Amino acid sequence: MDYKFEIAKIIGHVSGLDTADIMSAIEIPPNPNMGDYAFPCFKLAKAFRKAPAQIAQELSEKITKPAFINHIECAGPYLNFFTEKAYYAQSVLSKVLCDPKAYGESNIGEGKNIVIDYSSPNIAKPFHVGHLRSTVIGNAIYNIYTKLGYKCYGINHLGDWGTQFGKLIVAYKNWGSEQAVIENGITELMRIYVLFHDEAKKNPSLDDEARSWFVKMQENDEEAIRLWKWFYDISIKEFDRVYDMLGVKFDAYTGESFYNDKMDAIIEELKEKNLLQESEGAMIVDLSDEDMPPCLILRKDGGTLYATRDITAAIYRKNTYNFDKAIYVTALDQNLHFKQWFKVIEKMGNDWAKDLVHVPFGLVSLENGKLSTRSGNVVLMEDLLNQAINETKKIIESKNPDLPNKELVAKQVGIGAVIFNDLYNTRIKDVLFSWEKMLNFEGETGPYVQYTHARACSLLRKYEDLNYDIEYEHLTDSASVEVLKLIEEYPNKIEDAAQKFEPSVISRYLVNLSQAFNKFYHDNPILTSEDNVKNSRMALVLAVKSILSSGLSLLGIDSPEQM
């Protein structure tokens, strides 16, 4: 039973209001003493020409109480509904227990394709903590939309083209060696890249030399392409190692270079549609009618830019995947860039421009300043994850040294802590990177949710006789009902997270569910209770365990069964 819908139908029957409008207004009171559901009558005052409190009173008198409602109360302008708790427990739990792993799944996305562009590190630069946000936010959005029945395509739009590769080639030829790159990989490439910028301050001609090498790349010069491809292969190998640690996968690695042979056609189309204009030697699309700066398509030297490649990529993806929505997970400071080229797509006559969505997030900064690969001021992602695993090992050794599979659990919990920490707050907020905060295993954290899951697993291991002949009257106490309310909310939370592109909806929900479950565990003896009571409470344990595991998986986090 969908309680909100049933209550909305009851109110609609006596008021003549639209059921959907009533459903959107129904609230879950913060205090159970105020009811399980509440309908505020403020918005009806104008239409009914009465005080909200009077409207609530009159509606309550007209309603014939159904079997699933215990009683209805008026509290000023609110109409409060108190459910029959055993009836409520049965309707909520039966949904989960019929197929625990499938609970929360939906077919609302059936037949629809979603393209998600996320992570996108730059080739030949280290995968640092600044790349974490796009990677884990994009991965969570991918999982959430998949849960709702959409066909998702995860694309890693690698930064694998541009003048920076000219700089790297110059740096390699001046201060690098093949042996050092083979031995140290990206670490060596980063060292010489930082050195280039230091030296270019003293010798600006190095920048001209770098531009010259990039022109050679564009002209398919054999040596330039060989070095570029070498740097690319080294980078992908190291990136994959980090992605494997994070449990992140992609359906396509199509970076900027992939679109090199596809941009001419798009530039020609812009010309044919009279959208390209010359400005100081460069070619632009004028966006003054949209109160935006012009979108730069070609530089003075004829070189392409990010916007050129993004426009080309979007058109390629529409033709390839026929997406219903294309989501771009990048930093907030790229807002204008996306608004500009989204508008260019629209001006080209593509009505699907409305399906392009920029999902911005706040930046990560170090306690001693902004991340920068040019200065070498970075925290490498692999170092962070390994540190998190090592810190977790120390905690396990001190609290549970006999834990089976300690290495695996340390990896699951340590990496889970890093991911959960990033996804717990609203994505738009800036994150100040702190080792202490990142590896804090107390409070509203990933390890707390994982531990709650492990606790539920432990109870289930100790009680193997669970059957579905449940006496729901044993689940009517306040602690049990609070858990049931949160269980009922899980499918709605998934849809809400998808609509807002906001994984923190799930992470915060999991903390709330864990807290409610631990209160239930504290208030209600389980394994020591009578068999019929024990069986009923264990059904609730199973439901919570399944949802915690499901919710963590949406965030890209494992659920250890022992901790």
**pLDDT tens-digit profile of 477-528?**
999 999 999 999 999 999 999 999 999 999 999 999 999 999 999 999 999 9
Query: Is 2.40.10.10 the CATH classification of the domain at 3-83?
Result: no
Q: Which of 327, 333, 427, 381 is nearest to 130 (CA)?
A: 381
Model pLDDT, residue 343: 98
Q: Which whole number is the average pLDDT over 160-176?
A: 94
For a pLDDT cut of 90, what percent of the chain falls above it?
A: 82
Show the beta-strand stretches assigned E in 322-443. Answer: 325-331, 356-361, 364-366, 369-370, 431-433
Q: Which of 290, 416, 341, 376 is nearest to 117 (CA)?
A: 341
- Cβ count near 324 (within 10 Å): 15
- For 383-407, what is each residue's pLDDT tens digit? 889 989 998 999 999 999 999 999 9
- Any idea of the CA torsion for 285, 287, 288, 289, to the nearest 10 degrees? 120
Collapsing DSSP to helix, strand or coil, 28 comes out as: coil
Q: pTM higher than 0.85 for the full model?
A: yes
- For 432-478, what is each residue's pLDDT tens digit? 766 677 666 778 899 999 999 999 999 999 988 878 789 999 999 99
Dist. CA 519–CA 452, nearest whole Å: 11
Dist. CA 352–CA 365, nearest whole Å: 35
Look at the block and give the residue holding tokens 């540190």: 387
Residues 6+ away with beta carbon under 8 Å from 327: 114, 115, 116, 117, 118, 138, 141, 357, 359, 501
- For 15-24, what is each residue's pLDDT tens digit? 888 999 999 9
Residue 373 clears pLDDT 70, i.e. is over it: no
Show the beta-strand stretches assigned E in 156-294. Answer: 276-279, 282-285
Model pLDDT, residue 435: 64
Residue 374 clears pLDDT 70, i.e. is over it: no
Model pLDDT, residue 46: 87
Model pLDDT, residue 479: 95
CA distances from 301 to 161, 168, 281, 306, 338 (A): 16, 21, 8, 15, 24
Residue 177 clears pLDDT 70, i.e. is over it: yes
- For 107-141, what is each residue's pLDDT tens digit? 999 999 999 999 999 998 888 888 999 999 999 99
Strand order through the sheet with 295-298: 276-279, 282-285, 295-298
Catalytic residues, by residue number, are 125, 128, 131
Q: Is 145 left (phi over 0), alpha (psi -120 to 50) or beta?
A: alpha
* Residue burial 431-463, b: 16+ Cβ < 10 Å; e: rest: bebeeeebbbbeebbbbbbbbbbbbbbebeeeb
Q: In a 10 Å sphere around its CB, with 0-12 CB exposed, 13-18 middle and 19+ buried, how is residue 190 labelled?
A: buried
Q: What confidence category does residue 377 fall into, taking pLDDT thresholds of 50, 70 and 90?
A: low
Collapsing DSSP to helix, strand or coil, 471 comes out as: coil
- Cβ count near 180 (within 10 Å): 16
Q: In a 10 Å sphere around its CB, with 0-12 CB exposed, 13-18 middle and 19+ buried, how is residue 422 labelled?
A: buried
Q: What are phi and psi of 261, to 5 degrees?
A: -90, 5
Dist. CA 388–CA 408, nearest whole Å: 13
CA-based max dimension of the chain: 87
Q: Which of 395, 327, 340, 259 is nearest to 115 (CA)?
A: 327
Give kind and range of the element (H or E) at residue 83: strand 78-83
Look at the block and give the residue holding tokens 């992470």: 507
- Mean pLDDT, the chain, whole residue set: 93
Domain-wise residue ranges, the chain: 3-83, 164-240
Residues 6+ away with beta carbon under 8 Å from 421: 437, 438, 445, 446
Helices (H) and strands (E) in the chain, counts: 21, 13
Model pLDDT, residue 439: 64
Q: Which whole number is the average pLDDT over 239-257?
A: 95
Q: Is 353 left (phi over 0), alpha (psi -120 to 50) or beta?
A: alpha
- For 257-282, what is each residue's pLDDT tens digit? 999 999 999 999 999 999 999 999 99
Residues 6+ away with beta carbon under 8 Å from 241: 382
